[in-house]
Structure 1
Amino acid sequence: MLTLTLTLHEARIAMERPFRHARKVRAETASVLVAAGYRGETGWGEAAPREYVTGESVGSVVAALSGRGVRPAVEEVAGAPLDEALAGLIALDLPELLGRGGAPAPAAAAALETALFDLVCRRHGVWGLRALHRAGFGDLLAAEPAPMPVSTVLDLTRDPEARLAALPEGVRGTIPHVKLKAGPDVAPVAGQVARVRALVPGATVSVDANCSWETETVLAHAPHLRAAGLSWLEEPLPPRRWADLARLREAGLRVMLDESFSSARDLADCTTHQAADLLNLRVSKCGGPLRLLTLARAARAAGLGVQLGVQVGEVGPLWAAGRLIGTALHGPVAVEAGRQDEWFPGHPPLTDPGYQVDRAASRAAALSGPGTALRPTEALLRRCTPVPPRP
Structure 2
Amino acid sequence: MRVKSLEFYAVRLPFRFAFKHSLASRNFSDNVVARAVVEVEEKGDVEGWGESVPRDYVTGETLETSMTRLKMDYAPRLINQKFSDAQEIVRLLESEFYDLALDERPLGASWCALELAVLDAVARANSLNLAKWLGRKDDQGQEAGVVYGGVLPFVNNRLLPLALALYRLYGYKTVKIKVGTDLENDIERVKQARAILGKKIILRVDANAAWNVEQTLRFAEQTRRFNVASIEQPVPAQDLEGMARLTASLPEQIVADEALCTISQAQTLASEKICSGFNIRLSKVGGFLAAREIAEIARRAGIANHLGAQVGESGILSAAGRAFVQAQGPFENCEGSANRFLLKQDLTREDFTAGMGGVGKPILAPGLNLTVPPKNLSSLVRNHETAKLRNTSPNALMRC
Q: How does the TM-score come out when normalised to structure 2?
A: 0.87
Q: Write out aligned runs for 1:1-391 (5 A).
A: 4-39=4-39, 40-67=45-72, 70-73=75-78, 75-76=80-81, 79-89=83-93, 91-94=94-97, 97=100, 103-133=105-135, 137-142=137-142, 145-157=143-155, 159-166=159-166, 171=169, 174-200=171-197, 201-252=199-250, 253-327=252-326, 329-345=328-344, 350-358=347-355, 360-382=356-378, 383-384=380-381, 385-389=384-388, 390-391=397-398
CA distance in 2, matches of 1:3, 1:249: 45
Cα pair 2:54 2:110 within 8 Å, conserved: yes
Map Cα deviations across residues 239-279 of structure 1 (whole Å, 9 max, x no partner). Answer: 13111112222331421000000222212322343221101
CA distance in 2, matches of 1:182, 1:85: 42
User: Offset at 1:330?
Assistant: 2.9
CA distance in 1, matches of 2:221, 2:3: 61
User: Offset at 1:74?
Assistant: 6.0
Change (3 A) 1:140 1:62: farther
Cα pair 2:13 2:31 within 8 Å, conserved: no
Map Cα deviations across residues 262-319 of structure 1 (whole Å, 9 max, x no partner). Answer: 2222123223432211010011012111221111011110110011011010123211
Map Cα deviations across residues 357-384 of structure 1 (whole Å, 9 max, x no partner). Answer: 21x3221112342111112222321121
CA distance in 2, matches of 1:126, 1:66: 28
Cα pair 1:34 1:111 within 8 Å, conserved: yes
Change (3 A) 1:371 1:3: closer
Change (3 A) 1:257 1:154: same
Cα pair 2:4 2:80 within 8 Å, conserved: yes
CA distance in 2, matches of 1:68, 1:260: 25
SS in 2 for 1:352: coil
CA distance in 1, matches of 2:79, 2:200: 47
Map Cα deviations across residues 30-75 of structure 1 (whole Å, 9 max, x no partner). Answer: 1111111122111111110111111111111101110166333464
Q: How does the TM-score come out when normalised to structure 1?
A: 0.88
Change (3 A) 1:140 1:108: farther
User: Offset at 1:23?
Assistant: 1.1
SS in 2 for 1:300: helix
SS in 2 for 1:223: helix
User: Offset at 1:184?
Assistant: 2.4
Change (3 A) 1:155 1:202: same
User: Offset at 1:115?
Assistant: 0.8
Cα pair 2:6 2:79 within 8 Å, conserved: no
Aligned-pair Cα RMSD in Å: 2.4
CA distance in 1, matches of 2:48, 2:352: 18
CA distance in 1, matches of 2:337, 2:155: 15
User: Offset at 1:322?
Assistant: 0.4
User: Offset at 1:83?
Assistant: 2.6
CA distance in 2, matches of 1:333, 1:198: 23
Map Cα deviations across residues 306-355 of structure 1 (whole Å, 9 max, x no partner). Answer: 11011010123211100112345433111112421122246xx5313223
User: Offset at 1:107?
Assistant: 1.0
CA distance in 2, matches of 1:112, 1:208: 29
Change (3 A) 1:20 1:265: same
Aligned partner letter, 1:87: R
User: Offset at 1:104?
Assistant: 4.3
Any unmatched runs of 5+ in structure 2?
A: 40-44, 389-396
Change (3 A) 1:51 1:247: same
Map Cα deviations across residues 66-122 of structure 1 (whole Å, 9 max, x no partner). Answer: 01663334643x643123223333x324276286xx844211111111011101111
- Corresponding pairs, count: 377
Q: For structure 1, which segment, 289-298 or 265-274, has the greater mean C-alpha deviation from structure 2 after superposition?
A: 265-274
Change (3 A) 1:258 1:69: closer
SS in 1 for 2:295: helix
Cα pair 1:242 1:273 within 8 Å, conserved: no
